[in-house]
Amino acid sequence: MSGSIQRAHLTFYTLRVIAPLVFAMWLAIGTSLGNLVFVWAGAFPVAASAYIFSQVLRTATKPLFMIWINRHAPSAVRATVISMYWQANASGHIIGAPILGAIGSLHSLRSALTAASLALLPVVPLYRRQPDEPPG
């Protein structure tokens, strides 16, 4: 519980200093790197630390999405935009899981987890394209 409070405090403090999308971009990069360290770690303490690191960053990203959507989506369509976000998220899982499973079956679990970690990175250029401030 205190970890969640600390994470929320850090997130909202950082948002005062850094633009939300820049912060989200770095959270996505950090999550991917943490996952890669977890996958390729040779020692349990390193793997456990990397896993915790990546999960803390991953859970801090979700509130940023909601903040950004609430800032940019008109109130008349906001619920639809949020619903579409979660449906796109689920579609990514539905499409990506069999592909990653095939990689794991054909190569190794480490290869599949590496591919999953790298699959998080295409979102970074999308963050860079979006304005931080709402239009108008």
Q: DSSP letter string over 75-124?
A: TTTHHHHHHHHHHHHHHHHHHHHHHHHHHHHHT-HHHHHHHHHHTTTTHH
Highest mean pLDDT among 44-48, 70-74, 128-132: 44-48
Nearest CA to 12 among 56, 63, 78, 59?
63
Averaged pLDDT for residues 62-86: 88
Is residue 111, in this structure, part of any structural domain at all?
Answer: yes
What pLDDT sits at residue 60? 83
Is residue 114, in this structure, part of any structural domain at all?
Answer: yes
In the chain, what is the greatest distance between 2 CA atoms, to the nearest angstrom? 52
Query: Looking at the predicted structure, is the pLDDT value of residue 1 above 80?
Result: no
**Integer Cα distance of 42 and 22 in angstroms:** 32
Domain that holds residue 53: 2-129
Is residue 135, in this structure, part of any structural domain at all?
Answer: no
What pLDDT sits at residue 108? 97
Number of domains in the chain: 1
Is residue 66, in this structure, part of any structural domain at all?
Answer: yes
Mean pLDDT of the chain: 85
Is residue 86, in this structure, part of any structural domain at all?
Answer: yes
**Interval 110-131: pLDDT, tens:** 999 999 999 989 988 887 776 6
Element spanning 40, H or E:
helix 20-40
